[in-house]
Amino acid sequence: MFRALLIFSFCAGVLAQTGSQALRRTAEEADALERNITRTITQESLEQRAQLPPSRFRPRIGKDATVAPRPRLQVRRIVSEYSVGTLQETGSSDLHEFRQVISVDGRTVQSVESARHALSLGIQSRDDRARKRMLEDFAKHGLVDVATDYGLILLDFTPRGMGNLDIAPIAEARIGADAVQVFAWRQKTTAGGELEFHGRQVVHQALEGRLWVRKSDGLPLRVDAWAQYTDGQHRIRDEATVDYVQSSHGFLTPISVLHRHLVDAQPITENLYRYEPFRMFSSDAEIKFTEIPDQPAPAPVKK
């Protein structure tokens, strides 16, 4: 749960307090990500581990018939071409993740070229049905508790986004060799928060979490986010840790997302997303990469 802290809103007064430079740098980096991320593409690898209910089959004879069936562990690995765009028909400028699946558990679904072509056409289409189909297709590959858009959580810290946050410094720590300042943050409203679908039920949840900022230059390295609620019978919690790195194009991009879905404090699903270096493309229907050479991505930062 969110600790009882002296919380203050991001405003001119905050800039005069401890950590003001770090928050200013975070807002600048979030703004740069928002300006540039829609002109990029990368490859995303997802490994999902999910606890499934026990098999319906139970032996009727032998000692196995007396043993209660156990939950099953399912592991799926999905590789996709990944980019970011808006849903034009909604009239909103909010950004969302879009994918075209290349392979499932090592089995090729389509070529990289076909995936990039479909992805570029879908993102540039003014018909949002193409984008929605991409999200639906992604969820059809046997996944459980699909989590999306967490890689864009840094966008909550743009100058505009910080208007919906309560934020305060809480600690100093380290991520690898880097000394960091840690801020607690919480959304004031559910706008821009987590949207969950449970059957026909739609749940809007405000997010809270931690922001990890490098002390030496104010660069944001990590964002933690979580939301929890009770559905009448069970306590549901979703939590994620998103690590960012400076791309060769001069702005931050996600390098990994670790998402967990818990029910009554028991982990049910774990999604680990990893990203190759992001490439930039032109506005043509066919994706054309710039001549800027790509640099190998650094290893994910670890606490």
Please give the full DSSP string across 52-66, using - where no structure is assigned: EPPPS---SSSGGGG
DSSP for residue 155: G
Q: Which of 277, 269, 273, 275 is nearest to 296 (CA)?
A: 277
Instruction: Find all residues with CB under 8 Å of 266, minimum gap 6, and list them.
Output: none
Amino acid at 169: P
Query: pLDDT digits over 164-189, tens only?
Result: 999 999 999 999 999 999 999 999 98
Average pLDDT, integer, range 209-237: 93
- Phi first, then psi: give them for residue 219, nearest 5 degrees: -70, 125
How does pLDDT run across 134-144, given as a tens digit for each residue?
777 777 887 88
pLDDT of 102 strictly over 90: yes
The torsion angle over the Cα atoms of residues 296, 220, 162 and 13, rounded to 10 degrees, is -150
Residue 148 to residues 68, 135, 145, 240, Cα–Cα distance (Å): 35, 9, 10, 11
Q: What is the pLDDT of residue 6?
A: 35
Number of H helices, E strands in the chain: 3, 15
Question: Closest Cα partner for 242 from 258, 228, 226?
Answer: 258
Fold (topology level) of 8-53+73-280: outer membrane lipoprotein receptor (LolB), chain A (2.50.20)
Q: Could you give the CA distance from residue 72 to residue 63 in angstroms, rounded to a whole number?
A: 20
pLDDT at 264: 94
| Phi, psi of 85, deg, nearest 5 | -160, -170
Instruction: Flag the least confident range among 86-95, 113-122, 188-197, 241-250.
Output: 188-197
